[in-house]
A and B are shown apart, each in its own frame.
Chain A
Amino acid sequence: MAMNRITKIKRSIFSRSSLRAIIAIIVFLVLWECGSRSKEWLGHSLPWIGLVPPPSAVVLVWMDLLGDSGYWESWYLSTMRVMSGFVAAMIIGIPLGLMMAVSRTFNSITFPTFEILRPIPPLAWVPVAIIFWPTEELSIAFVTFLGAFFTVVINVLGGAKAIDMRFYQSAQAMGSSQWDIFRRVVLPATIPSIVVGSSVGMGITWNVVVAAEMISGGGGGTSGTGGGLGFFIWNSYVGGSYEQIVVGMISIGIAGYASSELLRGIGGFFTPWLKTR
Chain B
Amino acid sequence: MAIASGGAAAPVTSKLQVSAGEIIVDNVSKSYGTGIFEKKVVKGCSFTIERNKLTVMIGPSGCGKSTLIKLLAGFEKPTTGNILLNGKPVTGPGRDRLVVFQESALFPWMTTYDNIMYGPIARGEADQKARDLAEFLLDKVGLRDFRSKYPTQLSGGMQRRAELARAMINNPEVMILDEPFRGLDAMSKELMWEYYSALFEESHRTNFFVTTDIDEALFLADRLIIMSNIPTRVRATIEVNIPRPRKLADFFTSERANEVKMTALSLLHEEAMKSFSGGSKAAADFVDSYARRSEQKA
Query: Which residues of A approach B to under 8 Å, CB–CB?
Result: 164, 166-167, 169-177, 180, 184-185, 188-189, 191, 271-273, 276-277
Contacts and interface: CB of A to CB of B under 8 A. Distances in A.
Given A174-B170, A175-B95, A273 B109 contact: yes
Contacts of B166: 174
Interface in B64-120: 73, 75, 93-95, 97-99, 101, 105, 107-110, 118-119
Contacts of B94: 173, 175
Contacts of A191: 109
A167 B107 CA distance: 7
A188 B151 CA distance: 14
B61 interface: no
B129 interface: no
Contacts of A173: 73, 93-95, 97-99
A191 to B, nearest CB: 7
Q: Which of B95, B108, B152, B170 has the most CB of A within 10 A?
A: B108
Given A166-B105, A189-B109, A276-B153, A175 B99 contact: no
Contact of A174 (B101, B109, B122): B122
Given A166-B101, A273-B152, A276-B152, A175 B170 contact: yes
B136 interface: no
Contact of B73 (A167, A169, A271): A169
Contacts of A170: 98-99, 101, 105
Q: How many residues of B sit at the interface, in one of the four size bands?
A: 20 to 34
B93 A169 contact: yes
A200 B110 CA distance: 26
Nearest to A177: B122
Contact of A273 (B73, B93, B150): B150
Given A166-B105, A175-B122, 14 more contacts: A170-B99, A171-B118, A173-B98, A174-B118, A174-B123, A175-B119, A175-B170, A184-B121, A189-B109, A191-B109, A273-B109, A273-B152, A276-B150, A276-B153
B59 to A, nearest CB: 22
Contact of B122 (A164, A166, A180): A180
B127 to A, nearest CB: 15
A180 B93 CA distance: 16
5 contacts: A173-B98, A184-B121, A184-B122, A185-B107, A188-B109
Nearest to A272: B150
A251 to B, nearest CB: 38
Nearest to A165: B75
Contacts of A184: 107, 118, 121-122
Q: Which 5 A-B pairs have the closest CB atoms?
A: A174-B119, A166-B105, A188-B109, A176-B122, A273-B150
A271 B107 CA distance: 13
A174 B98 contact: yes
Nearest to B169: A174
Contacts of A276: 149-150, 152-153
A274 to B, nearest CB: 8
Nearest to A185: B107
